[in-house]
Amino acid sequence: MNCGEIRPLISAYLDGEVTPEERKSVERHLATCEGCRQALSEYRAIGSDLRAMLVPMPPAGLRRDVWRAIEAREGGARVVKSPPSSHSKIIPLPQTRNKPSVINVLTGAGSGWTRAIPAAVLVGALLIALSYFMLTRQTPIALATMVEQGEITDYSQPVHVLLSKSVDPVSIAENTWVELPQGPDPASWVVANKKVYSSTGPNSGRLEIWPVGTWKPGVQYKVVINAQHVRLVGVGGYLGDKPIDSLTFSTALYTPTPVDTSTNTPVPTDTPVPPTQTPEPPIVNTPASTAVAQVSSEVPVVGATDTPGEPAATATKQPNTPAPPAPPTATRPAPTNTRAVPTATQAQPAATNTAAPSNTPVPPTATSQPTQVPSATATPTAMASATATRKSTGTPTATSTVQPKVTASPPLGCLLEPVRGFGKIWRDHVDVRERLGCPTVPEEGVLPAAQQHFQYGYMFWRGDTRTIYVFLRSGPRDQYGTWFEFKDTWVEGEPVPTVEGGAPEGGYIPVRGFGKLWASDPALRQKIGYATEPETSVDAVWQPFEHGRALWTSDRTIRMMYEDGIWQHFNDTFTSE
């Protein structure tokens, strides 16, 4: 056969769509024909190129619009349930926290809309129990199963996936990631970085996934394996023909060891400096509080959508409220902290921003909630915490059923304490203190340094270490997000790769080191958007802590960079008097 005849077969060969005879003749031809080998490798490259394209995230409004349109057309006749706006995420946490993960597995999505399903499942259960039973029998052998059942209690440990087939270690690691149920927002694509697959030995077939830092407490994670890209060993072909996204695991809520309410804890009202010594919002260890924490964490989306103009007190220094609380790192000796971490909030920085709404007098209940929501519970708590936050006098007795506890002061007795702007925030914000730990060296000036603001983030360059820090923003305000560290590989005079299409009006294409990084990484470009101003040099101060770093820039901005990849923004209010 000549090349013209063999080419279509090469294409089919690549897809595994040839007969054994065809395969043989293709291989025979390839062995002698350079041109066709080239064609095969180009066909392959086309596939890799396509698979490497980002999978865009549908805008949040889509779901709502679809439902509205369906409702409108159906006149509501067939719509049994009340319309699930994309805001119906507020659901009470069931008594056992395992249940949502089941739903998650079910729907493969776990977005708020589908999480309303448990009720329906429970109601209909008796009627269709039999068919459920039969379906159980029919469940096919899973290609991949989660080893960890039940909740993860050690947040620093890896989780494991057992695969039913032997796969190529590199391709499984490349094609697996961990998402938060909300999908790949900036916080989610860094939740796991280390993936180790053992193809031999007692643990063969096992994929080990390590968190970046720690897993967040009280969260359901989804493990997604792009099975159609995972190569099988030996026989060739791929693990599956579509992504496996039914694997989930959840982490236990952080329940600190209960201790007696310390008598030496200063009563908030007695504190000499009221605005600084902020008492914690009323915190409880009862399940009720957990539910509330979940609820408020879900609110964010609502807040972002419905009250965009709300000038939530974010401009001014705002103790604690939006701060993602400290992750209970195993290594950190802070057992005295009796504060139940509002875990969901922390886990989803995107969501956290809306913690701000809880600051406003309007509690989250204002938004459309599914009827299951015990809004009675949610409201008082939201109010109470808002109150406690606003007035720093916070007598947390506001909540009736809960037993408020005031946080004991954490790492006292650091050998070194931060000073000036860092020191003020570190002392004022107990959660910052808990997350960062003690400073490891005194603060130091950074020279040279440069910065550039982007539509959805910020870049900072340390000239002394030739490092670029990328800060992606989660949420509309410049409050917190995720940060990344990159080596600056650009050398003076090196041309920066050009990117197709110019900057939109009012936007800038970054240049130099920022530009190189930006141009070479489409995913980063997508996340951070265009620059909103030219790069500028800046005075900066840097201080490493046990569990993070602090960065001050001369625009009087402080960014706390926690080791779990979250950053948090503060205005520097320190004045030297």
Partner 1 sequence: MEGLALAIDEKSWVARAREGDSTAFEAIYSRYERRIYAFVYRLMGNAEDAYDLTQDTFIKAYQALPRTAPDLNLSAWLHRIASNACMDVLRRRKLIRWLPWETFDTNPGMEPAADDDPVGEYNQFETSGEVQSVLDRLTPKHRMSLVLKEYQGLSCDEIGDVMGLSRSAVKSLLFRAREEFRQVYLRKYGHAPGAESDQVAFREAGDYDG
**Of residues 331-350, which lie at the interface with partner 1 (CB under 8 A)?**
350
Given the complex with partner 1, which of 432 and 517 has the nearer CB atom? 517
How far apart are CB 323 and partner 1 at their closest, in Å? Answer: 18
Given the complex with partner 1, which of 38 and 397 has the nearer CB atom? 38
In the chain, the amino acid numbered 513 is: G
The answer to whether the beta carbons of residues 55 and 527 sit under 8 Å apart is no
Q: Among 73, 194, 487, 556, which residue interacts with partner 1 (rule: CB under 8 A)?
A: 73
Closest alpha carbon to 207 in 234, 229, 188, 225: 225
Q: What is the DSSP string of 512-560?
A: HHHHHHHHH-HHHHHHH-SBSS--EE--EEEEEETTEEEEEETTTEEEE
Given the complex with partner 1, which of 112 and 279 has the nearer CB atom? 112
Q: Among 24, 28, 44, 194, which residue interacts with partner 1 (rule: CB under 8 A)?
A: 44
Beta bridge mates, 560: 550, 568
Q: Among 108, 169, 266, 463, which residue interacts with partner 1 (rule: CB under 8 A)?
A: 108
Residue identified by tokens 């914000």 is 429
Given the complex with partner 1, which of 143 and 398 has the nearer CB atom? 143
How far apart are CB 60 and partner 1 at their closest, in Å? Answer: 4
Judged by CB under 8 A, the chain residues 251 through 280 that form the site for partner 1 are none
> Can you tell me the distance from the alpha carbon of 298 to that of 117, in angstroms, rounded to the nearest whole number?
16
Given the complex with partner 1, which of 307 and 467 has the nearer CB atom? 307
Judged by CB under 8 A, the chain residues 499 through 558 that form the site for partner 1 are 499-501, 504-507, 520-527, 529-530, 532
How far apart are CB 449 and partner 1 at their closest, in Å? Answer: 24
Residues 6+ apart with CB under 8 A from 52: none
The reply to whether 25 sits near partner 1 by the rule CB under 8 A is no
Q: How far is CA 313 from the centre of its chain?
A: 24
Strands 151-152 and 244-251: parallel
| CA-to-CA separations, 266 to 169, 384, 391, in angstroms, rounded | 55, 20, 16
Q: Which stretch binds partner 1 (CB under 8 A): 267-275, 339-347, 417-425, 495-503?
A: 495-503
Judged by CB under 8 A, the chain residues 370 through 429 that form the site for partner 1 are none
Q: Per the omega criterion (within 30 degrees of 0), is the bond before 211 cis?
A: no
Q: Among 26, 91, 93, 113, which residue interacts with partner 1 (rule: CB under 8 A)?
A: 113
Strands 449-454 and 566-571: unpaired
Convert 130-197 into a string of H (helix), E (strand) and C (coil): HHHHHHHHHCCCCCEEECCCCEECCCCCCEEEEECCCECHHHHHHCEEEECCCCCCCCHHHCEEEEEE
The reply to whether 79 sits near partner 1 by the rule CB under 8 A is yes
Given the complex with partner 1, which of 122 and 491 has the nearer CB atom? 122
Judged by CB under 8 A, the chain residues 134 through 153 that form the site for partner 1 are 135-136, 138-139
Judged by CB under 8 A, the chain residues 189 through 248 that form the site for partner 1 are 189, 226, 228-229, 241-243
Six-digit token string for 346? 């922390």
> Can you tell me the distance from the alpha carbon of 561 to that of 557, in angstroms, rounded to the nearest whole number?
13
Given the complex with partner 1, which of 399 and 479 has the nearer CB atom? 479
Residues binding partner 1: what is the number (CB under 8 A)? Answer: 110
Q: Which stretch binds partner 1 (CB under 8 A): 71-79, 155-163, 204-212, 258-266?
A: 71-79
How far apart are CB 453 and partner 1 at their closest, in Å? Answer: 13
Q: Per the omega criterion (within 30 degrees of 0), is the bond before 361 cis?
A: no
The reply to whether 114 sits near partner 1 by the rule CB under 8 A is yes
Given the complex with partner 1, which of 268 and 303 has the nearer CB atom? 303
